């Protein structure tokens, strides 16, 4: 969204993005500035656009996909008519936006507003709204040390109450974007779910040999490496953690 076009005030933004076609056009322009839309299934670029349902149908593989597929919005039922005014608010705010302000402005619950704020900040720290792709390294950490090596982790893993540190799951696209998000535990389903949420299925994923990552190969081209860890931790520390 450039400064000289689009809505100027919050009220204008809410009205502007109330039109789902406008949302799809806006997000398309952000994701694919050159206008070439790759099918998330086969990467081919020849499609029909089914305007009534706002989905693309790939001419090659016949699969349909919406603008949300392949973005951090994909697994959320929240409408783009809520997401985009929130993005507009967060991008435009000089001094930051609270989840309370999003709740008030968009009429979503405080819990939803917090979720949206968190997701949008992650996307902004990663540089765009697409998932990580190419070569992606994933690891988990406490700030200040490897999560699973810390005694505190055992307490965290057994439930709430004694957790004085949050575990952070970091994913980095080599040469580029970083996503770091707090996780409630270090189980396979949690870490795999997080990777599916933020990493494109065509990516190559590198982790160490922690058993929680064992089943990743079912969904991704998955490789085990040593010392992915320090790299990820350094990048997470320098780029993203302080945003929380």
Cβ distance to Zn ion smaller for residue 50 or 61: 61
Among the listed ranges 58-66, 97-105, 130-138, 163-171, the one in contact with Zn ion (CB under 5 A) is: 58-66
The verdict on 215 binding Zn ion (CB under 5 A) reads no
- Alpha-carbon span 125 to 142, nearest angstrom: 19
Residue 60: CB minimum distance to Zn ion, A: 5
The verdict on 45 binding Zn ion (CB under 5 A) reads no
The verdict on 55 binding Zn ion (CB under 5 A) reads no
Among the listed ranges 39-47, 74-82, 139-147, 167-175, the one in contact with Zn ion (CB under 5 A) is: 39-47
- Alpha-carbon span 198 to 201, nearest angstrom: 9
Beta strands in 33-117 (DSSP E): 47-50, 55-58, 64-66
- Determine how many CB atoms are found less than 10 A away from the CB of residue 176: 14
Beta-ladder partners of 146: none
Cβ distance to Zn ion smaller for residue 63 or 118: 63
Helix 80-92 and helix 99-106: axis angle, to 10°? 130
Beta-ladder partners of 58: 47
The verdict on 61 binding Zn ion (CB under 5 A) reads yes
Interacting residues with Zn ion between 125 and 144 (CB under 5 A)? none
Q: Which residues bind Zn ion (CB under 5 A)?
A: 39, 41-42, 44, 58, 60-61
């Amino acid at each position: 969204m450039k400064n000289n076009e689009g809505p100027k005030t919050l009220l204008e933004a809410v009205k502007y993005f109330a039109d789902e076609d406008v949302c799809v056009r806006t997000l398309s322009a952000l994701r694919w500035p050159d206008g070439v839309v790759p099918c998330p299934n086969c990467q081919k670029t020849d499609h029909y656009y089914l305007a009534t349902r706002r989905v693309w149908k790939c001419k090659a593989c016949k699969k349909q996909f919406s603008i949300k597929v392949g973005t951090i919005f994909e697994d959320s039922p929240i409408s783009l008519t809520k997401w985009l005014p929130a993005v507009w608010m967060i991008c435009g705010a000089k001094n930051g936006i609270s989840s309370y302000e999003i709740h008030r402005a968009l009429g979503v619950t405080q819990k939803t507003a917090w979720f949206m704020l968190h997701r949008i900040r992650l996307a902004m720290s990663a540089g765009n709204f697409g998932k990580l792709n190419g070569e992606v390294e994933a690891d988990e950490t406490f700030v200040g040390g490897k999560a699973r090596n810390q005694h505190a982790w055992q307490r965290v893993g057994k439930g709430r109450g004694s957790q004085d540190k949050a575990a952070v799951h970091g994913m980095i696209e080599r040469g580029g974007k970083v996503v770091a998000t707090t996780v409630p535990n270090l189980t396979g389903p949690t870490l795999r779910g997080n990777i599916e949420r933020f990493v494109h299925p065509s990516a190559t994923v590198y982790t160490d040999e922690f058993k929680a990552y064992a089943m990743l190969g079912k969904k991704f081209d998955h490789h085990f490496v040593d010392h992915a860890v320090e790299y990820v931790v350094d990048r997470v520390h320098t780029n993203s953690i302080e945003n929380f």
